[in-house]
């Protein structure tokens, strides 16, 4: 089973992660696959008002000044 944390903006897999963030919400494998496919096609994964992951169109992995946008987790908690 897959989970998403809006606070961490990351996915978790119960088979890999022993501890989940307190805001983690369960999502189906189909939803997980759909979101990753959208991200691959330049959408940004964020959360809705309820903390569930959504893909927002028009994203890019390059900022306007051509610097790469990178966000590393602040804690080593096996985000997948």
Q: Is residue 21 part of a domain?
A: yes
Residue whose pair of structure tokens reads 């996915």 in the numeric block: 11
Residue that wins the pLDDT comparison between 65 and 79? 79
Q: How far is CA 31 from CA 1, 36, 45, 67, 75, in A?
A: 11, 9, 12, 30, 25
Q: Is residue 64 part of a domain?
A: no
pLDDT, one tens digit per residue, over 36-69 is 999 999 999 999 999 999 999 875 554 444 444 4
pLDDT, one tens digit per residue, over 6-36 is 999 999 999 999 999 999 999 999 999 999 9
Q: Is residue 10 part of a domain?
A: yes
- pTM for the structure as a whole: 0.71
Q: Is residue 62 part of a domain?
A: no
Q: Say how many CA atoms lie within 13 Å of 52 toward its Cβ.
A: 6
Q: Is residue 9 part of a domain?
A: yes
Q: What is the pLDDT of residue 75?
A: 57
Q: Is residue 78 part of a domain?
A: no
Q: Is residue 74 part of a domain?
A: no
Q: What is the pLDDT of residue 21?
A: 96
Q: What is the pLDDT of residue 58?
A: 75
Provide the number of structural domains found in the chain.
1
CA dihedral defined by 41, 61, 55, 12, rounded to 10 degrees?
Answer: 110
Q: What is the pLDDT of residue 5?
A: 97
Residue whose pair of structure tokens reads 């964020």 in the numeric block: 46
Q: Is residue 61 part of a domain?
A: no
Residues 6+ apart with CB under 8 A from 50: 25
Structural domain containing residue 17: 2-56
């Amino acid at each position: 089973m897959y989970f998403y944390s809006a606070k961490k903006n990351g996915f978790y897999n119960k088979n890999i992660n022993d501890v989940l963030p307190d805001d983690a919400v369960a999502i189906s494998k189909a939803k997980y696959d759909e979101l990753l496919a959208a991200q691959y096609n330049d959408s940004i994964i964020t959360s809705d008002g309820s903390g569930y992951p959504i893909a927002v169109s028009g994203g890019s992995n390059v900022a306007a000044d051509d610097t790469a946008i990178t966000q590393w987790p602040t804690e080593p908690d096996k985000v997948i």
